[in-house]
Amino acid sequence: MSQRSLKDATITLSDGASASLEVKVGEGNLSWSERRNLEYTRNRGALDTVRELDEEPLEIRFDFIWEWVFSTSGTSISAAIKGTAGWTSTVDDACQPEAIDITVEMTGCETGVAETIVFSDFRYDSLDYDLRAGSVSCVGRCNIVTPSEG
């Protein structure tokens, strides 16, 4: 399981086309877990090969309190996460639920190193939010995570 603090991070939600919503986070947390099915093959009792089977989606959890929100399409955080409000899906199959891309940009407090993580084709499972408190808590899944340090 990977975890990151979202303190002072910027989260961008996009539909893969033109709509986007940018959130400046004050405090928060992000975690994701990779589940991989592996097949182990033994030769005379010794491990011979390890082969990856079909990938399981990653479970992603984030909760944060935002400082400000900017939307190019005038949509809300909840509508953006749910992929509603006219946002298009990032997948080609019309039978699939709407998906969004989430980009998280943060700088480590101790290291000062900038890090960007992209969760492509994210689909939410649950979403709780409080507009008065400026808080969001979400759990969802995606198949692709692209971390990078800058």
Residue 56 has what pLDDT?
A: 67
Q: Note whether 98 and 107 are within 8 A (CB).
A: no
DSSP 8-state class, residue 76: -
Query: Which residues in the chain show pLDDT less than 70?
Result: 16-17, 34-38, 50-56, 83-97, 108-111, 147-150
Going from N- to C-terminal start, the domains of the chain cover 2-149
Residue 18 has what pLDDT?
A: 72
Residue 33 CA to residue 59 CA, distance in Å, equals: 6
Residue 22 has what pLDDT?
A: 93
Residue 30 has what pLDDT?
A: 94
DSSP 8-state class, residue 97: P
Residue 94 has what pLDDT?
A: 56
Write down the pTM of the prediction: 0.76
